[in-house]
Each structure stands twice: as C-alpha cells, then as structure tokens.
A and B are shown apart, each in its own frame.
Chain A
Amino acid sequence: MSDYVIIGNGTAATGCIEGIRSVDPNGKITLISKEKHKVYSRPLISYLLEGKTDVERMKYRSDDFYDKNGVSFLPGISAAKIDADKKEISLDNEEKIAFDKVCVSTGSSPFVPPFEGLDTVEKKFSFMTLDDALSLKDALNPESRVLIVGAGLIGLKCAEGIKDLVKEITVCDLADRILSSILDAECAGIMQKHLEENGIKFLLSDSAAKFESNKAIMKSGMEVEFDVLVLAIGVRANISLVKDIGGEVNRGIVVNTKMETSVKDIYAAGDCSEGYDASIGGNRVLAILPNAYMQGFAAGVNMAGGDKEFSNAIPMNSIGFFGLHVMTAGSYDGECFEEKREGVLKRFFVKDNCLIGYMLIGETDRAGIYTSMIREKVPLDTVDFELLKKVATTFAFSGENRRKKFGGVV
C-alpha cells in the first residue's frame, strides 16, 4: 500500500513529488517509470546531440533525489490499468500496487501516421526520449542526408541539434509555415530565413505521400533521397489509463484547477493532461515544461491534503535556433500592436485593456515582464504601454507598483 503513486517520471512527476513533500513529509510515495533512466530533462535531447550538454548534466534532479524524498523508484515498468474502486494499479509485470491517491503523469507519445511504405525505411526515428536521441546519434555520420517530417518545435530542434553531425538536412511539413502552432506567417518567415541561412532546407505545404526505402515521394510529386528519417509530426497525450475507466478525456485527460480528474482520487498533470488555460478561458493541453511542473506540484499538494489551485496557466514558449530567439505567450485573439526594426519583430495582442499575448522575434530581453502582465491581467491604463512596446522595462509601471515589487520580499 502506498499513500501516493505517481505514474510517469518526467517534470510533472517531479513537481508532484515536491508538492506532496511540501505538505506531507512522511507518506509513502511510489513512482512507476516506463523509462529506465532517473528523471532527466527531455527538452535537452537536441542540445545533447549538439554537444551543449551530456547525459550526466541532463539530469533534471540529482541522483539521490528519490532517496532524499523517500520515493520508491520503479524503473522500466509500465502501469497497465487502474482499478478505481479497488484502488489498485496493475503493472505490466503482473504485480499490483494499492494506492490512496494516484497522479497520472504519463506524458505523450509521438504520433506516427500510417505512411505508405514506412516499413521499408531502415533508419527511421522518433525524437522524443533520451534513448531516441542516442540511437539517432548512432545512426548518423558526416555523410548522412536527413529528412525530418514535421517543422514544429521538435522537428526544428532536432535539425539544430544534428546540423553539425550530418551533410544535409531537409525539413518538410504540411503547413504553409514553420512553427505553425505558435507563429504567424510573417514571424515564421523570419525564422525560416534564418534557418535556411544556417543550411536547413525546407519543403512546406508538402509532405511525404509514400516512402520507398531511401526515398520519400512527396505529395507534390517531388522526390527526396535520404539516409536517415526522423518523424516529428506531433504527439498524442497518453490518456488510456484514465480513458479506459471512463474518466473524462478530450485531447488530454481533463482536470480541474486542482488537477483532479473526473475519477475520485485520480489526478493528472503534465503533457498528458488538459487543464485550464487562462488565455482561452477553457481547457487545453499545454505541453510546456513550466506548466508541467506547476501542474505536478499543485496535484501533489492537493493529493497530500493541501489546497492549491493552478488557474493562471497560459501557453508560453521560448525557443531559439542558431542564435535567433523567439518567445511567444498567451493568445493572439486581440488587437495587434507591432514594433518592427532591423532583425526584430514584436507583436503585442490586447483585449479588454489587458495584454493577452505576444510574439517576439530577435529581441527577447526581459520578456518575463510581458508574461507576468498577461498572467496577472494588468490593466494597460495603469502602465506606460508605449514604452513597453519599445522595451520590456519595469519603469513602465507606476512608482508605487515598483516600490511594492522591489521594496520587500516577493
């Protein structure tokens, strides 16, 4: 019997452990991890290939993290089924674990469409886990020509990571622009140009229709030859554990602001969950690390008997390629104010006297000031918005506001 069981071993799971321990220093925690590794930072796998980090430095917490927090760590094991009435989890090794509260933080899995001829491709990889990255690295050599399907955050990060290891990279996507989930056409165009200047080739509004061993035949008819194929089309939240027992699911496992699912004593957090997104006023999968941590922490606190709501989550991204950085946050459904300069494009979205979102490319200093304005719904008539559009500075706030921010303990 474990007071708390956490299914998953990523950022949300870590947040959950720390959340539980902030309230309950003694209750038994068991963590079930499909991957054998101790918790590591998944977003760093491209940096690993690039050489900016290594397996040791990628660890999200220290090696003694589980021991120090009294967590019974079960690596290489999956949860097969949750019995909500008996309060029992069946593992894939036939064992069962009884629980008082469980947190499902199973993350997501790469989505691989059933491409014709995909089975004929010898060297094909997803780009999701540390093991994916390590096996991809093994398959590459300086003569490799790589085709990456998917010009989203994962596909492009992979391209950046392997650029110096291979001869040629081509990225294709059905969308008419790169990073279509977060950027509009103009901003995406700026980033695309920068990536092209750094040697990445793009085929947009086009995708593979069929594969033939070392060749992809595109929808447009064009043929692309490659040695290695990376599939980074998208991910699907791992919702089966809750879906199978009738819990409310959508694209992800639906949770309230306390991270509770529709099934009693079952919580969910991280990329597998669909929690409240303050920028749209409804639920949405927000698969970003900071949100995963905060959701996990809130779940943990509530599981341990505390009371924590996480109600100001917004989509936000900070991503850079070859030295050019992009930051986005919130929603774009408002009046747009633009600042444009050589190499810099900033877009601010305003609705009901509040900043609701922004897109910054080329100049991202102190963007957190804008992010906090979105999350805290700061009325724009209390700040010098003209100044803020030009530069992110706390000087745009009133003297009184600044004294509160900087004069005490926050």
Chain B
Amino acid sequence: MKRVYVNEEWCLGCHLCEYNCAFANSGLKDMADALKGKKIFPRIHVEGDEKISYGVSCRHCEDPMCIKSCIAGAISKENGVVTINRNKCVGCLTCVLVCPYGALAPSEEGTMQKCELCVKNSCGEPACVTGCPNKAIVYEERG
C-alpha cells in the first residue's frame, strides 16, 4: 500500500504541506476562500528546527494502537487506510494518548482527525505530496 513519506534531506520547512492539507480537506474550491483569516488544522505537521525539518502524518500502521484504544470504536481500517468515523468520535483524546508518532489531533469541530491519504476528499492523491515544492514528500510503496 502506498504511504506518504517525507525526506528530511529535501524538506525546506516551508509548511506548504500543512496549508495544502488544510485546503484539500476544507471541501472548498478556492484556497484563499478556505483559509483566509482562519487558524488551520492540518493533518500533517512540520517538526524540527531551522536546519532540519520534516512533516509528520499518520503512518497507517500495520497494527494501529489508535484502533485498539478508541473508546468509541470510531477508528477502523478500510483498504489498509486507518480512518476515523467523525460521527462516533467524542473527543476523549485516548488516541492521542497512545499514538507513538503524535499523528492525531483535534479538528476545528473538536472531533479527531488525521491523515487519510486524501482518499475521501476531492484531491484524490495526497495534497501534501503534490504541493511540496522540493519533492521532499513522496507517495509510494515501501517495505
């Protein structure tokens, strides 16, 4: 299964992945319309310092801790993609308690969200990959 991988060698820490992610999941057609004046809640976030940086997003683990820990049974795997049923989530943050990569965070509405490889939004292919200006993020099969 293809996953999103970030290469520290080329990541510039420009944060465009975060903005592209927020836009892709906004459901709106124009980026300025979607994001102007708002705090963004991206599903990929950049970590690091001025010299080294990289984006972190859900690893779609083979045996995900979040699925085992969600008290509402809201997280499941569909075709290999770990996905959250926002309807069932009550915002207890148990998934945040257990994810070793820090990949989950609350959305603007309070329910949890994380990278779902843009399978459910209009993008089709992960927006962070297409939007990276330095080919630091790739979408490929490994392992």
Complex: A in contact with B (CB within 8 Å)? yes
Across the interface, name the chain B residue whose C-beta is closest to A62.
Answer: B73
Per-residue CB contact flags for chain B residues 37-50 toward chain A (1 = under 8 Å, else 0) read 00000000001110
Question: Are the CB atoms of A290 and B98 closer together than 8 Å?
Answer: yes
The residue on B at minimum CB distance from A65 is B73
Is B69 at the interface (CB under 8 A from chain A)? yes
A52-B87 Cα distance, complex, nearest whole Å:
10
Contact with B along A390-403 (1 / 0, CB 8 A): 00111100010011
For residue B116, CB closer than 8 A to chain A, the reply is: no
Q: Is B88 an interface residue (CB 8 A)?
A: yes
CA gap between A365 and B61 in the complex, in Å: 20
Interface string of B10-30 (1 = CB under 8 A from A): 000000000000000000000
Query: B93 to chain A: which residues have CB within 8 Å?
Result: 318, 320, 325, 327, 364
Q: Residues of A contacting B95 with CB < 8 Å?
A: 368
Residues of A within 8 A of B8 (CB): 399, 402-403
Residues of B within 8 A of A316 (CB): 97-98
Majority secondary structure, B binding face: loop
Measured between alpha carbons, how far is A318 from B94 in the docked complex, in Å? 5
A371 at interface (Cβ–Cβ under 8 A)?
yes
CB distance from A268 to the nearest CB of B (A): 18
With beta carbons under 8 angstroms apart, the residue of A43, A365, A407, A408 that contacts B102 is A365
Looking at the complex, which one of B65, B97, B143 makes contact with A318 (CB distance below 8 Å)?
B97
Whether the pair B71, A329 counts as a contact (CB closer than 8 A) is: no
Among A61, A393, A409, the residue within 8 A (CB) of B47 is A393
Query: In whole Å, how far is A378's beta carbon from the nearest beta carbon of chain B?
Result: 10
- Cβ contact within 8 Å between B90 and A53: yes
Q: How far is the CB of A66 from chain B (nearest CB, A)?
A: 14
User: What total of chain B residues lie within 8 Å of the partner, measured CB to CB?
Assistant: 38
Determine if B131 is an interface residue (Cβ-Cβ < 8 Å): no
- State whether A44 and B72 are in contact (beta carbons under 8 Å apart), knowing that A365-B105, A402-B8 are contacts in the complex: yes
- Residues of chain A from 277 to 323 with CB closer than 8 A to chain B in the complex: 289-290, 293-294, 297, 316-320
Q: Which residues of B have CB within 8 Å of A61?
A: 73
Are A405 and B68 within 8 A (Cβ)?
Answer: no
**Chain A 325-373 interface residues, beta-carbon cutoff 8 Å to B:** 325, 327, 329, 364-369, 371-372
Q: Determine chain A's interface SS by DSSP, over half rule.
A: mixed
Minimum Cβ distance to chain A for residue B53 (Å)? 8
A59 within 8 A of B: yes
Given the interface pairs A61-B73, A289-B71, the reply to whether A406 lies near B6 with Cβ below 8 Å is: yes
Name B5's contact: one of A60, A293, A371, A407 (CB within 8 Å): A407
- Cα–Cα distance between A364 and B99 once the two chains are bound (Å): 12
A53 and B85 CA atoms in complex are apart in Å by: 13
- Write the nearest CB–CB distance from A141 to chain B, whole angstroms: 24
Asked whether B72 lies within 8 Å of A58 as measured between CB atoms, the reply is yes
Tell me the count of chain A residues lying within 8 A, CB to CB, of chain B: 46
| Chain B residue with Cβ nearest A43 | B71
Contacts of B105 in A (CB 8 A): 365-366
In the complex, whether B142 has a CB less than 8 A from a CB of chain A is: yes
Q: Which residue of A lies closest to B99 (CB)?
A: A368
How far, in angstroms, from A409 to B2 measured CA to CA in the complex?
A: 10
CA distance A317 to B97 in the complex (A): 8
A399-B8, A406-B54 given; A366·B102 CB < 8 A: yes
Instruction: Contact check, B54 vs A53: say whether CB atoms are below 8 A apart.
Output: no
Contact A44 B90 (CB under 8 A): yes
List which B52-83 residues lie within 8 A (CB) of chain A.
52, 54, 56, 59, 61-62, 65, 68-69, 71-73
| Interchain CA distance A59-B74 in the complex, whole Å | 9
How far in angstroms is the closest Cβ of chain A from B107? 14
The answer on a CB contact under 8 Å between A52 and B97 is: no
User: Cα distance A53–B91 when bound, in Å?
Assistant: 11
Question: In the assembly, what is the distance between CA of A15 and CA of B102, in Å?
Answer: 24
Bound-state Cα–Cα, A246 to B134, Å:
67
Tell whether, in the assembled complex, residue B73 and residue A41 are in contact, meaning their CB atoms are under 8 Å apart.
yes
Given contacts A290-B65, A409-B62, A409-B143, 17 further A-B contacts (CB under 8 A): A59-B73, A289-B69, A290-B94, A290-B98, A293-B68, A293-B69, A294-B68, A318-B97, A320-B91, A364-B93, A365-B102, A368-B65, A368-B96, A402-B8, A405-B100, A408-B142, A410-B59
A-to-B contact residues, CB < 8 Å: 15, 41, 43-44, 47, 52-53, 57-61, 289-290, 293-294, 297, 316-320, 325, 327, 329, 364-369, 371-372, 392-395, 399, 402-403, 405-410
Q: List 18 A-B contacts (CB under 8 A).
A: A41-B71, A41-B73, A44-B72, A53-B88, A290-B68, A293-B68, A319-B92, A320-B93, A364-B93, A366-B99, A366-B105, A368-B102, A393-B102, A399-B8, A399-B52, A406-B59, A409-B62, A410-B61
